[in-house]
Structure 1
Amino acid sequence: MRKLIFGMNLSVDGYVAAPDGDLGWSSPSDELFEWWSERERAVGLFLYGRGLWEAMSSHWPTADRLPGANAAEVAFARNWRDTPKVVFTSTALDVDWNTRVVTGDAVAEITRLKAGDGGPMRVGGARLGGAAMRAGLVDEYEIVTHPVLLGGGDPFFPALDGRAPLELLETRTVPGGVVVSRYGKR
């Protein structure tokens, strides 16, 4: 059975994107970028909602060829292209870079994928991750809290039917006052 990880950059008030969709408030330090890169290299399958897919696919497929790309960005871009990806969307979508599209029941497909063999899976996107949370499929949470209040936007945590006890696996502060916390399901 595969592990499912849900992790994103958050504001202190729990949002993953500002009301206008802006993500510029979450620019990582070199140390945080390396932490994310290390975590991404350990993933065997990325699961994206359409919004996060569009953000990632607008930059990472060719980021290693941009002028001034550093070694960490080159490695991240190559890993992103090479790692299998599934995009969940209700409408047709053309994809590339080792990706397939699922337009049906996301929770049923994530459940099927989780029951299979392979490395850990990472779910990205607040709505898709929230659906996986509500279904009890998430095994680990990677919460990277940036010192900013957005006052609204896309929340990381959905409303749940009850408590979900967690166990702290890691916590540390990185440059810029960003707090990295990892929690596992108890």
Structure 2
Amino acid sequence: MRKLTFGMNLSLDGYVAAPGGDLGWSVPSDELFQWWSDRVGATGTALYGRRLWEAMSSHWPTADQRPGATPAEIEYARRWRDMPKVVFSSTISTVDGNTRLVTGDAVTEITRLKAEDGGPIDIVGATLAAAAMRAGLIDEYVLVTHPVLIGDGTPFFTALDNWVNLAPVETRTFSGGVLLTRYETRR
């Protein structure tokens, strides 16, 4: 069974995006950007909701060809393009690159993907992750907490019907007081 991880940058008050989808508060340091890049390089498949897919796919497919692209951006763009991706949406009809579109039930498809052979799966996007959370499919949570309060927006966690017991597996501090915490789901 493949491991499913949900990880994102979040504010100290638990939001992954400010109102209007604003991510300006979460600009990573070089060290944190490299950590995210290494994570993308190790991911077998990434699962995207429509909104985050549209944001990422509008930039990363050609980011390495932009004037002034840093070596880290070039590396991330290559890794992102190479990583197999699945987009879950009922409102778009096509995706491109190393990506396929799923318009049906997300929980059913995520369950099927977890049962396949292959590398680890990352779920990116809080709305899509909420469905997997409620279904008990997430094996690991990665919280990259920035020392900022944004007051409102898209929450990292969703309302749950049952408790989810977690075991801490890693804590690391990045520059600027950004704290990485990883937790595995206790089953």
Match of 1:129 in 2: 129
CA-to-aligned-CA distance 1:31-80 (integer Å, 9 cap, x gap): 10111111111101010000110111011001111111111111110111
Match of 1:53 in 2: 53
After superposition, where does 1:151-166 map in structure 2 within 5 Å?
A: 151-166=151-166
Percent identity between the aligned chains? 69
The alignment partner of 1:20 has SS state of helix
1:61 maps to amino acid = P
TM-score by length of 2: 0.97
After superposition, where does 1:93-172 map in structure 2 within 5 Å?
A: 93-172=93-172
Match of 2:179 in 1: 179
**Alpha-carbon distance between aligned partners in 1 of 2:98 and 2:76, rounded to the nearest angstrom:** 15
After superposition, where does 1:35-114 map in structure 2 within 5 Å?
A: 35-114=35-114
**Alpha-carbon distance between aligned partners in 1 of 2:172 and 2:100, rounded to the nearest angstrom:** 35
**Alpha-carbon distance between aligned partners in 2 of 1:104 and 1:91, rounded to the nearest angstrom:** 11
Match of 2:14 in 1: 14
Unaligned runs of 5+ in 1: none
Deviation at residue 91 of structure 1 after TM alignment: 1.7
1:154 maps to amino acid = T
- Runs of at least 4 residues of structure 1 off by over 6 A? none
Deviation at residue 97 of structure 1 after TM alignment: 1.4
Q: For this pair of structures, how many residues does the alignment match?
A: 186
After superposition, where does 1:25-40 map in structure 2 within 5 Å?
A: 25-40=25-40
| RMSD (Å) for aligned C-alpha atoms | 0.8
**Alpha-carbon distance between aligned partners in 1 of 2:61 and 2:92, rounded to the nearest angstrom:** 20
Q: Which has the higher helix share?
A: 2
CA-to-aligned-CA distance 1:1-43 (integer Å, 9 cap, x gap): 1100100000011001001210111000011011111111110
Unaligned runs of 5+ in 2: none
The alignment partner of 1:91 has SS state of coil
2:23 maps to amino acid = L
**Alpha-carbon distance between aligned partners in 2 of 1:28 and 1:92, rounded to the nearest angstrom:** 30
**Alpha-carbon distance between aligned partners in 2 of 1:48 and 1:127, rounded to the nearest angstrom:** 9
Deviation at residue 93 of structure 1 after TM alignment: 2.9
